[in-house]
Amino acid sequence: MTGPAVTTELLDGATHEQVVRCADARTGLVAYVAIHSTALGAALGGTRYQPYLSEAEALADALRLSRAMSYKNAVAGLPHGGGKAVIIGDPAHRTPALLHAYGRFIESLGGRYVTAADAGTQVADMDEIGQVCRWVTGRSVARGGCGDSSVLTAFGVFQGMRAAAAARWGLPTLNGRHVGVCGVGKVGSHLVVHLLDDGARVTVTDIDTAAVARVLAAHPQVTAVADADALVRSDLDVYAPCALGGALTDDVVGALSAEIVCGAANNQLGHPGVAAMLADRGVLYAPDFVVNAGGVIQVADELRGYSAERARALAAGIFETTRDLLALAAERDVLPVHAADEMAETRMAAGPWAGALFPGLAAAPDASG
């Protein structure tokens, strides 16, 4: 792997408050924690565990994802800034010792960063990290946590999709619409259920054929195609990218038949120009960091004593947020993603707790400990 010398180049132009490299020779841990902003409170964002090809690739992912978390948390009205962590390696080879070493690094940050599960990590990992670290959420219900955050992530995406459907077709429903879900892991499989319950026709794909098989076994009315390319080229009304980022490339936009793109994946735009390309083709793009905030709303609620009813009610608000955002973008004749950026930046500039859904936390102990 490329060593930490790559950091100077990658950090050029970055607006992050703090970036930490974590290494523990005994367990083999190599990780990066990127804190983009604490303007609204302690940075909150998940830990991703992936077999990155280099440290440079891992750090770039942490920088990109942490910035997106700042914007996501701000638009969601949470009293949190944005952060993200990445652990380099095969998550199948994780050990309690490695997770404990990682947890001690997070603890050493004194509460500036609060972690949760993300791609490659699970609720059980948060329980393990929580043995040595106070700054962890998304733990199991048995440990006093909120459990699997993919439940409300999918629910929030569905609410955002309903709002997009209302903006495009006049009614907040997917009834009778053909929705293609790319990626049916934890979030995508829950989203399929919401779509079917709403009367949508659903086609899925995933590089994990076992995940597709599980969805088809549970829902025989769902159809599947071989890969993402075939799904994009299908006769869809809505395309839902629910795997890893960068799904919306020039080629995908050129082939896309759907009128709406709304999915759970982070950082869906392959490059900034893709948003304009989608608009030029008449495709309504619901910004990912707006619609996929249900999971972070869920784990944030754990920090004040988790209430499933309260968290679900807050995640349901993604419908109104998306509806208002799309209306604002149409009124101003700007791209939805630019309107969402402006909303987030305005809230961050206003300072701590401004517009927070959880104003009671303002009176809680300072996020730094």
Q: What is the pLDDT of residues 113-122, one digit of tens each?
A: 999 999 899 9
Q: What integer pLDDT is reported at residue 246 of this predicted model? A: 86
pLDDT digits (tens, 9 = 90+) for 23-40: 999 999 999 999 999 999
pLDDT digits (tens, 9 = 90+) for 180-212: 999 999 899 999 999 999 999 999 999 999 999
CATH of segment(s) 4-69+81-143: 3.40.50.10860
Residue 365 has pLDDT above 80, yes or no: no
Name residue, tokens 């994802």: 65
| Residue among 290, 231, 302 at smallest CA distance from 266 | 290
Q: What integer pLDDT is reported at residue 12 of this predicted model? A: 67
Confidence grade of residue 351 (pLDDT, cut at 50, 70, 90): confident
Q: What contacts 194, CB < 8 A, 6 or more positions away?
A: 154, 155, 158
DSSP code for 181: E
Residue 297 has pLDDT above 60, yes or no: yes
Q: What integer pLDDT is reported at residue 15 of this predicted model? A: 86
- Per domain, the residue ranges of the chain are 4-69+81-143, 150-294+321-347
Residue 347 has pLDDT above 60, yes or no: yes
Q: What integer pLDDT is reported at residue 51 of this predicted model? A: 97
Q: 4-69+81-143 and 150-294+321-347: same fold? A: yes
Q: What integer pLDDT is reported at residue 348 of this predicted model? A: 92
Q: What integer pLDDT is reported at residue 8 of this predicted model? A: 56
Q: Is the dihedral of CA 282, 283, 289, 291 positive or negative?
A: positive
Confidence grade of residue 361 (pLDDT, cut at 50, 70, 90): very low
Q: Which fold has domain 150-294+321-347?
A: Rossmann fold (3.40.50)
Catalytic residues, by residue number, are: 84
